Amino acid sequence: MEKIFITGGSGTVGMSFIEQYYKKYKFFSYSRNEKMQVSLKRNFPNIEIILGSVEDKLALHTSIAKIKPDIIIHAAALKHVDSAEISPIAAIKSNILGSLNVIEAAVDNSVPVTVAISTDKACSADSNYGYTKALMEKMFLESHTTKNKFSVCRFGNVSHSHGSVIPFWLGLKADKKPLPLTHKAMNRLMFSREEAARLVYSAVLKSQDESESFILSRKMKTVNMFKLAQIISQNIEHVGLRPGEKLNETLINEKEVSRTFLEGEFITIREYENLGHNKLDDEYSSENAEFMSEKEMVAMLIEADEDLDKSLLESRIY
């Protein structure tokens, strides 16, 4: 059984990946969040948990040297745009220096495959968070060799991840508080945590099969945040854009279009031009992707919180 070492393994994506592939791999979750690590261990007794930060080079290297994993999934990061705007040094330590520690540990210990989790905010970066993730992508692609393979998964928004807008809004709704909305025209590309885990799994398999580095993403649907807020509550408070925030976000930018390769729902970005026809015609963003219907948004909300009163939500649409 192959061994997978996941940094930030007790986060949303890590937990979803472990849940879906629990019986396929031997998992080691490396995270500094003790509470979440203990919870993860209770839900999945066969995994091993290790308390540590990717910023701690010695602890990270020591853990990987002892385990000798076949695969590393690098999901640990400072993930919130506003936090990175307020604390850029913390973002650099976690997202850039922490990622460099992962790369060096993987190379020093001859880990065959290492996959990093990135974000649409790294594409055409316009925030501290985006800048750090854009550099992380370049670092991983630069480090790739046939002996130590490095690849990247580029996500949109994971619809019900910890600290994201949907659980935040649902909590405010339960407390009878207004939902803060930055702008009526705010659009975001979203997919589920299960789809996110499957994207990572596809990147792992692709890395094992291929000799080239790549960034792997997939087609996602756009959610208009005002329409989503209206489904949850009519008590909406307009608060204006936060520092570093944009109305629309790009998953594949104009410069990358010629280097895209389409395989069904998956979009692979390579370091050379695609001379065939299986590529995007234009950049892929929350502005031009297919919009999620109200029915699909309701299903997404119910998936995010199984305790929601389904009839109340559906009564607003059907």
Contact 12, 41 (CB under 8 A): no
Query: Would you tell me how many other CB atoms lie within 10 Å of the CB of residue 131?
Result: 20
Contact 165, 225 (CB under 8 A): yes
- Partners of 267 in the β-ladder: 217, 262
Q: State how far the Cα of 130 lies from the Cα of 140, in Å rounded to an integer.
A: 15
Q: State how far the Cα of 30 lies from the Cα of 27, in Å rounded to an integer.
A: 10
Q: State how far the Cα of 94 lies from the Cα of 76, in Å rounded to an integer.
A: 8
Among candidate residues 121, 133, 221, 279, the one labeled active-site is 121
> Hunting for tokens 């789809």 — which residue is that?
195
Cα dist from 39 to 53, 57, 253, whole Å: 18, 25, 38
Q: State how far the Cα of 106 lies from the Cα of 149, in Å rounded to an integer.
A: 9
Contact 192, 159 (CB under 8 A): yes
- 134 membership: H or E segment, kind and range: helix 128-143
DSSP state of 281: S
177 by DSSP, 3-state: which?
Answer: coil
Annotated catalytic residue 147: no
- The secondary structure of 10-67 as a DSSP string is TSHHHHHHHHHHTTTSEEEEEES-HHHHHHHHHH-TTSEEEE--TT-HHHHHHHHHHH
User: Would you please indicate which residues are annotated as catalytic (active-site) residues?
Assistant: 121
